[in-house]
C-alpha cells in the first residue's frame, strides 16, 4: 500500500467530467507533480484531496486510511496541508496570526479555559509559537512577523502560504502552483525550499505546477493530465518527451 | 396582490442595482418616499396634471439616483459589501430626516384619476389596485424590452456580468452604473406614486415597504429579476392571507416566518444559484 | 516612536504590550473611576450609557468585526436579555441568578439563530437575522404573560446581595464593572485559538477549513457568544431604561449597533468602545447644542452688532429641535465615516498617534488606500 493513493477518482460539474477516473499513488518521501494544460483538472484533484469537493466516484486513501469521507476540517489533523493557487491568506491579520491559525488542528485548549486564559492556555500558546517560529526561521520570514498580510508583496505572501501549510506539521503537503506569479529568483528559492522540505523535513510533496524548470528540478515523478484523464506518468524527462504530452500542450 | 406588486417593484430596484454593482441599496425605500412626495408637490402644490406629476417625480428621483452614484457610491466600489450596505442605510436615514424636515410629519393624500370601481361577476375591483397591477406590468414590459432589445440595455447586462471585460470592450462602465442607479431610483419613485393612494404619503412609508421588498428580493434569490417580482407577489399574498385568516399580529410577521423557513431550506433563495469560489 | 524590545514569546500574549501601555490604561481607569465623583448626576447617568453600549459594541464586534457575519437583528438579543432578566427579577429570583439565566437564554437563542445561519452568507444572513428580530419583536408584544405586551414592564434599579444600586453613581460603577469583565473575557478569547479561528473565517472560509477550523462550530460559537454578551447588556439596559416596551427593540436599534461598530472601527475592541462613546454621547450633545446655540449666537450678535447671526442661531436651534433630525445626523456621520475613514474612529486615533510619535517624519501616504476594482463577493 502506498503512502497516498487516489483510485479511479472522478467528479462531474454539470455534465462535464472535470476529473475522469484518475488513479495515482504517491510514495512516502517523494515529490510527485501533476502537470497539464489549463483546465486539465489539476486543481480540481487538489480540491478533491482536501475534501472541498465531493467526488462523484473513486477512493482516496492516506497512510493506510480511507479518507474519501473525512470532513474537510479534519484533513489537516490527519497530516495533509495545502496551499492555494490564488493565495487564500487571512489578509487582515498579521503573518504571525496566520501561521498560528495553522496550529488549529493541534488545538487542545477548551473554550472555557480560553475564556479565562488559564495558565494552561498560555503554556499551549507558547508551544504553538515555538512551532511557528521554526517555520519562520526555515523560510526566512522574521522581518515580516508583525506585518499585516495586505501590506506584504506578492512573493512574500506566496512564501507565507507555504509557511502556513508547514505550521500544521503535515506529512503530505499539497502545493498548488507554488511558482505562479513569482519572478525567476523567487522561483529558484522556491525550488530550494521544496527540496529542503523533502530532504530536511521529510515531508512528502504533491504539487501542481506549470513551470517546467521547477518541475524537472524538484520532482521525482510526474503525471501529465489532459481533459481530466492521466496521459503519462514517470520521471520528469520521460513524461516531457512523451508524444501524447507534447500533443496535449501543442494541441496537435 | 397589488401591494405585492409594489414589493416586487421595489425588490426589482434592489436587484437591478445588486446585479450591476453588487451594492445593496437600503435607501431604496426612502427614494420611494421621496418620489411620492415629489409627485404630491407637483400635483397638489403646483396644480399639475397627475401624469405630468408622475413623469416629473420619476425623472427627478431618477436623476437624483444617478447623482447619488456619482457623488457617493462611486467612492466605495471595492470596499466590503457590508460597509456599502451601512452607507446606504445612512443615506436612507438622511433622506428620511430631509423628508420630515421639509414636509413635516403629517399624512398626505395624493389625488389620482383612479377613483372608480369595476364589478365583474360580483367581485369588486377598485381602479386604484388595478392601476398598481397595470403599472407594474407596464414597467416590467418596458424594462424587459430595454434590457433585451436595446444596445444600452445589453451593455448594462454585460457590465453586470463582468465589469472589467465590459470596460475593455469600450462600454463606459461608470456611466452605465449611474444609469442603472437612475433606473432603479425611477422605478422606486414610480412604485411610491402607485402606492400613494393605498397607504397615503408620510415620511416612513418607504421604510416599511422596503423591509418587505427586501425580504421579497431575498425570497426570490437576490440577483434574479423574475425572482424579485415573484417574491414580491408571494410576500404580498402571504400578508393578505395571514391578515385575513390568522390571529392578529401575524399579518406583519408571517412573511418573515415564511422567509426564514425558506432560507433554512434553500439558503440561496428560490431562483438563486449557489456559486462557489474557485481556489 | 517606541519599539518594544521583545525577549520572550509571552510578551506577545500579554494583555498590555509594555509598561507604557499599563501606565496609560491605568490613567484611563483612574479617570473613569474618579470622574463620576466630580460630575453632575445627570452626566453620570448619560455616561453609564457608554458602558452599556460598550458591552453591546463588544458583542457585535465579535460577530461582525471579527467573524465577519453581519446581523441586522441584534436588538432582538438585547430585548431577550432585558425581558428575561426583568421577568426573573419580578418572580423573585436573586439578581445574580436572573442575570445568569438571562445570559443563558440569550446564548441559547443565539445558538438557535446561528445554526441555520451557518449556510448563509452576506446579505442572506443579514435578512435572516432581520426577519428573526421582527418575529421576536412581535413575540414581545404578544406574549403578555411574560412581557406584559404594550402595557410595558417596570424595572427597578438592581439590588445585589442586599446592596441597592439605586442612584446613578452606584449603577455607573456596576456597568463599568461588567464592561471591564466582558472586555477581559473577549480579549482572552481573541488572543487564543478561538479568536484566531474567527478571524480566519472572516478572511477566508476555505483556507480556515483547510487549516482545521470547523466552520459550523466556530460560527455558531461566535453567534452564541455575541448573543450572550448582548443578553448581559440587555439586563443592564433594562435597569437603565427602567421601563420595557416591545417597540424599543426595533430594527433601528439594531442599525444603531452596527453604526456603533463601524463608526468606532471594525475589527478592534478599541473600536467598540470608541463607537460606544460616540453613540451614547451624541444625543445629549445634540440636545446641549440645540439649547445653547441660539442663546450664544444671540449673545454674539448682541455683542458684535451683526444681527443675522442671531437668526442663523435660532434657525439652527429650530432645525435641531425638529423630530427625526437626530437619525439624519447619525446617517450623515455614518456616510462620512465610511467615505472618509473606513477604519473608523479607532483608525483615525492610530493615525493621530503615529503622527505625533513620528513627528516630523509623518507620511500621509502610510495609510493611503489602494485603488481597487470591484471585488465580487458573490462567490464565497
Does the structure show a pLDDT above 60 at B275?
no
Q: Spell out the residues 6+ positions from residue C167 whose beta carbon is closer than 8 angstroms to its own.
A: C41
User: What is the fold, at CATH topology level, of the domain defined by A4-79+170-250?
Assistant: Rossmann fold (3.40.50)
What is the percent of chain B with per-residue pLDDT over 70, rounded to a whole number? 87
Q: Which subunits count as partners of chain B given 3+ CB pairs below 8 Å?
A: A, C
Does the pLDDT value for residue C372 go beyond 80? no
The rounded percent of chain C whose pLDDT value lies above 90 is: 29
Nearest to C332 among B78, B94, B264 (CB): B94
Quickly state the pLDDT bin for C62 (edges 50, 70, 90).
very high
**C377 lies within 8 A of chain B by CB:** yes
Chain C residues touching B275 at Cβ < 8 A = 378-379
Domain ranges of chain C: 38-271, 284-364
Q: What is the ipTM of this complex?
A: 0.89
How is C273-316 classified by DSSP, letter by letter?
A: HHHHHHHHHHHHHHHHHHHHHHHHHHHHHHHH--THHHHHHHHH
Stretch C309-330: mean pLDDT, rounded?
77
Q: CB neighbours of C276 closer than 8 A, spacing ≥ 6?
A: C50, C51, C53, C54, C56, C57, C260, C264
Whole-number pLDDT of residue C378: 44
In tens, the pLDDT along C186-226 reads: 999 999 999 999 999 988 888 999 898 998 899 999 999 99
| Whether the predicted pLDDT of C374 surpasses 50 | no
Q: Would you state the pLDDT for residue C375?
A: 47
Domain ranges of chain B: 2-206
Burial class (CB in 10 A: 0-12, 13-18, 19+), B40: buried
Mean pLDDT of chain B: 79
A97 touches chain C (CB under 8 A): yes
Per-residue confidence (pLDDT) for residue A52, from 0 to 100: 86
Looking at the predicted structure, is the pLDDT value of residue B117 above 70? no
For residue A96, the chain C residues in CB contact (below 8 A) are 12
Q: Does C338 touch chain B (CB under 8 A)?
A: yes
Mean pLDDT throughout C226-236? 95
Residues in A touching C210 (Cβ below 8 Å): 50, 52, 72, 75-76, 81-82
Task: Encode burial over C246-284: b for 16+ CB neighbours within 10 A, e otherwise.
Answer: bebbbbbbbbbbbbbbbbbbbbbbbbbbbbbbbbbbeee
Q: Is the pLDDT of residue B277 over 70?
A: no
Q: pLDDT of C117-138, one tens digit each?
A: 777 777 788 888 888 998 898 8
Among residues of chain C, what percentage have pLDDT more than 70? 93
DSSP string, A83-102: --TT----TTSBHHHHHHHG
Band of residue C146 on the pLDDT scale cut at 50, 70, 90: confident
Interface test with A, best of C8, C65, C186, C192 (most A CBs within 10 A): C192
User: What parts of chain A have a pLDDT lower than 50?
Assistant: none
Q: Which of B159, B180, B271 is nearest to B222 (CA)?
A: B271
Render the burial of A87-124: b for 16+ CB within 10 Å, e for the rest: bbbbbbbbbbbbbbbbbbbbbebeeebbbebbeebbeb
Among A204-213, A240-249, C86-95, C348-357, the range scoring the smallest mean pLDDT is: C348-357
Determine the pLDDT at residue B199: 74
Residue C377's pLDDT is 45
Q: How far apart are CA C369 and CA B50, in angstroms?
A: 48
Paired residues of B81 in beta bridges: none
Domain ranges in chain A? 4-79+170-250, 90-153
Check whether B226 has a pLDDT greater than 70: yes
Q: Is A1 helix (H, G, I), strand (E, B) or coil?
A: coil
Question: What pLDDT does residue C379 have?
Answer: 40
Q: Is B269 exposed, middle or buried (0-12, 13-18, 19+ CB in 10 A)?
A: buried
The span from the CA of C72 to the CA of B158, in Å, is 32
| Distance of alpha carbon A128 from alpha carbon A105, whole angstroms | 11
Do the Cβ atoms of A81 and C210 come within 8 Å?
yes
Contacts of residue A50 in chain B, CB cutoff 8 Å? none
Q: What is the DSSP letter of C164?
A: E
Name, of A75-84, B24-33, B155-164, C3-12, the range with top average pLDDT. Answer: A75-84
Q: Quick check: A75 contacting C, CB < 8 Å?
A: yes
pLDDT band at C181; cut points 50, 70, 90: very high
Q: Give partners of C (≥3 CB pairs < 8 A).
A: A, B
Residue-level pLDDT at B32: 87
The yes-or-no verdict on residue B230 having pLDDT over 90 is: no
- pLDDT for B274 beyond 60: no
Judge: A92–C267 Cβ closer than 8 Å, yes or no: yes
| pLDDT tens-digit readout, A193-224 | 999 999 999 999 999 988 888 998 899 999 99
Best to test chain A binding among C111, C210, C266, C346 (most A CBs inside 10 Å): C210
Q: What is the pLDDT of residue C177?
A: 93
Amino acid at each position: 500500500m502506498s503512502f497516498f493513493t487516489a483510485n479511479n477518482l472522478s467528479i462531474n460539474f454539470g455534465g462535464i467530467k472535470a476529473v475522469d477516473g484518475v488513479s495515482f499513488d504517491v510514495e512516502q518521501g517523494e515529490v510527485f507533480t501533476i502537470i497539464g494544460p489549463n483546465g486539465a483538472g489539476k486543481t480540481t484533484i487538489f480540491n478533491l484531496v482536501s475534501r472541498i469537493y465531493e467526488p462523484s466516484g473513486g477512493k482516496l486513501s492516506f497512510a493506510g486510511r480511507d479518507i474519501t469521507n473525512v470532513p474537510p476540517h479534519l484533513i489537516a489533523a490527519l497530516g495533509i496541508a495545502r496551499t492555494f493557487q490564488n493565495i487564500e491568506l487571512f489578509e487582515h491579520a498579521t503573518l504571525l496570526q496566520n501561521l498560528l491559525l495553522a496550529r488549529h488542528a493541534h488545538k487542545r485548549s477548551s473554550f472555557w479555559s480560553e475564556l479565562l486564559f488559564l495558565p494552561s492556555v498560555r503554556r499551549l500558546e507558547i508551544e504553538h509559537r515555538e512551532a511557528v517560529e521554526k517555520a519562520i526561521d526555515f523560510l526566512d520570514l522574521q522581518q515580516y512577523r508583525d506585518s499585516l498580510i495586505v501590506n506584504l508583496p506578492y512573493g512574500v505572501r506566496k512564501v507565507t502560504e507555504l509557511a502556513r501549510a508547514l505550521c500544521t506539521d503535515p506529512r503530505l503537503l499539497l502545493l498548488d502552483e507554488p511558482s505562479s506569479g513569482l519572478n525567476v529568483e523567487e522561483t529558484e528559492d522556491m525550488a530550494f525550499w521544496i527540496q529542503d522540505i523533502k530532504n530536511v523535513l521529510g515531508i512528502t510533496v504533491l504539487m501542481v505546477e506549470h513551470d517546467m524548470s521547477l518541475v524537472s528540478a524538484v520532482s521525482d515523478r510526474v503525471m501529465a493530465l489532459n481533459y481530466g484523464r492521466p496521459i503519462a506518468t514517470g520521471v520528469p524527462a520521460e513524461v516531457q518527451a512523451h508524444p501524447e504530452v507534447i500533443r496535449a500542450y501543442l494541441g496537435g | 396582490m397589488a401591494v405585492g406588486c409594489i414589493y416586487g417593484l421595489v425588490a426589482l430596484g434592489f436587484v437591478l442595482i445588486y446585479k450591476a454593482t453588487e451594492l445593496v441599496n437600503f435607501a431604496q425605500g426612502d427614494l420611494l418616499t421621496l418620489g411620492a412626495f415629489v409627485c404630491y408637490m407637483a400635483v397638489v402644490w403646483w396644480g399639475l396634471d397627475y401624469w405630468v406629476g408622475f413623469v416629473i417625480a420619476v425623472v427627478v428621483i431618477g436623476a437624483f439616483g444617478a447623482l447619488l452614484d456619482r457623488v457617493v457610491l462611486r467612492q466605495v466600489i471595492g470596499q466590503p459589501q457590508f460597509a456599502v450596505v451601512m452607507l446606504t442605510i445612512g443615506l436612507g436615514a438622511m433622506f428620511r430626516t430631509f423628508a420630515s424636515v421639509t414636509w413635516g410629519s403629517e399624512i398626505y393624500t395624493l389625488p389620482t384619476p383612479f377613483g372608480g370601481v369595476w364589478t365583474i361577476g360580483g367581485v369588486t375591483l377598485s381602479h386604484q389596485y388595478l392601476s398598481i397591477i397595470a403599472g407594474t406590468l407596464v414597467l416590467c414590459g418596458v424594462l424587459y424590452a430595454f434590457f433585451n432589445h436595446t444596445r444600452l440595455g445589453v451593455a448594462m447586462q454585460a457590465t453586470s456580468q463582468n465589469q472589467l471585460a465590459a470596460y475593455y470592450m469600450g462600454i463606459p462602465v461608470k456611466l452605465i452604473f449611474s444609469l442603472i442607479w437612475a433606473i432603479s431610483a425611477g422605478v422606486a419613485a414610480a412604485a411610491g406614486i402607485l402606492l400613494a393612494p393605498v397607504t397615503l404619503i408620510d415620511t416612513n412609508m418607504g421604510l416599511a415597504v422596503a423591509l418587505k421588498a427586501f425580504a421579497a428580493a431575498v425570497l426570490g434569490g437576490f440577483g434574479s429579476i423574475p425572482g424579485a417580482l415573484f417574491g414580491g407577489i408571494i410576500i404580498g399574498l402571504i400578508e393578505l392571507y395571514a391578515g385575513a385568516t390568522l390571529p392578529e399580529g401575524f399579518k406583519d410577521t408571517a412573511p418573515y416566518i415564511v422567509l426564514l423557513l425558506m432560507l433554512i431550506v434553500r439558503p440561496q433563495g428560490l431562483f438563486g444559484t449557489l456559486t462557489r469560489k474557485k481556489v | 516612536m517606541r519599539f518594544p524590545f521583545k525577549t520572550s514569546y509571552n510578551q506577545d500574549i500579554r494583555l498590555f504590550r509594555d509598561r507604557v501601555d499599563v501606565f496609560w490604561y491605568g490613567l484611563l481607569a483612574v479617570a473613569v473611576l474618579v470622574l463620576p465623583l466630580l460630575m453632575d448626576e445627570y452626566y453620570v447617568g448619560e455616561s453609564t450609557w457608554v458602558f452599556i453600549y460598550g458591552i453591546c459594541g463588544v458583542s457585535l464586534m465579535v460577530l461582525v468585526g471579527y467573524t465577519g457575519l453581519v446581523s441586522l437583528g441584534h436588538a432582538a438579543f438585547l430585548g431577550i436579555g432585558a425581558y428575561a432578566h426583568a421577568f426573573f427579577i419580578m418572580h423573585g429570583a436573586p439578581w445574580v441568578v436572573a442575570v445568569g439565566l438571562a445570559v443563558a437564554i440569550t446564548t441559547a437563542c443565539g445558538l438557535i439563530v446561528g445554526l441555520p445561519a451557518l449556510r448563509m452568507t452576506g446579505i442572506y444572513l443579514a435578512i435572516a437575522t432581520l426577519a428573526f428580530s421582527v418575529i421576536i419583536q412581535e413575540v414581545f408584544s404578544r406574549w403578555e404573560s411574560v412581557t406584559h405586551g404594550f402595557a410595558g414592564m417596570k424595572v427597578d434599579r438592581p439590588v445585589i446581595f442586599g446592596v441597592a444600586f439605586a442612584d446613578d453613581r452606584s449603577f455607573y460603577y456596576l456597568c463599568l464593572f461588567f464592561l471591564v469583565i466582558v472586555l477581559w473575557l473577549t480579549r482572552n478569547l481573541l488572543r487564543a485559538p478561538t479568536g484566531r479561528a474567527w478571524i480566519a473565517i472572516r478572511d477566508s472560509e476555505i483556507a480556515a477549513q483547510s487549516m482545521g477550523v470547523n466552520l459550523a462550530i466556530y460560527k455558531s460559537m461566535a453567534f452564541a457568544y455575541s448573543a450572550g454578551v448582548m443578553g448581559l447588556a440587555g439586563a443592564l439596559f433594562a435597569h437603565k431604561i427602567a421601563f420595557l416596551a416591545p417597540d424599543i427593540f426595533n430594527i433601528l436599534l439594531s442599525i444603531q449597533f452596527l453604526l456603533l461598530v463601524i463608526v468606532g472601527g471594525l475589527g478592534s475592541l478599541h473600536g467598540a468602545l470608541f463607537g460606544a462613546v460616540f453613540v451614547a454621547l451624541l444625543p445629549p450633545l445634540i440636545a446641549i447644542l440645540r439649547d445653547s446655540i441660539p442663546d450664544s449666537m444671540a449673545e454674539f450678535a448682541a455683542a458684535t452688532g451683526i444681527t443675522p447671526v442671531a437668526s442663523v442661531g435660532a434657525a439652527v436651534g429650530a432645525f435641531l429641535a425638529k423630530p427625526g433630525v437626530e437619525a439624519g445626523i447619525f446617517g450623515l456621520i455614518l456616510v462620512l465615516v465610511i467615505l472618509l475613514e473606513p477604519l473608523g474612529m479607532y483608525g483615525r486615533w492610530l493615525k493621530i498617534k503615529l503622527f505625533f510619535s513620528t513627528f516630523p517624519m509623518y507620511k500621509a501616504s502610510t495609510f493611503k488606500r489602494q485603488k481597487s476594482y470591484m471585488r465580487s463577493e458573490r462567490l464565497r
